[in-house]
Structure 1
């Protein structure tokens, strides 16, 4: 697995349960830099964390 976040390049190896080096992958597609997380502003309920299953 590789991070999607801009400016990060770490990879995770589930077999070893640790960070790892890996091949250079195609550029990641991420949310627009001006878009807040966890989602579009005004469209995420204030209690979104409590709604996670």
Structure 2
């Protein structure tokens, strides 16, 4: 289980990238999607750092 927790931050980061990429490719960008994508990328970055330090 700890091995899976090390990758939760990276998964959140990738979800944030998908939130930004899919509307960009379909042509429907809004400020709400940009903010959600930004939040997920920043949160994923910090979760990845925190969990890697905790479970190392």
TM-score (norm 1): 0.29
The structure with the greater share of residues assigned to helix is 2
User: Which one has more relative contact order, counting CA pairs under 8 Å at least 6 apart?
Assistant: 2
Query: Which of the two has higher C-alpha Rg?
Result: 1
TM-score (norm 2): 0.28
The structure with the greater share of residues assigned to strand is 1
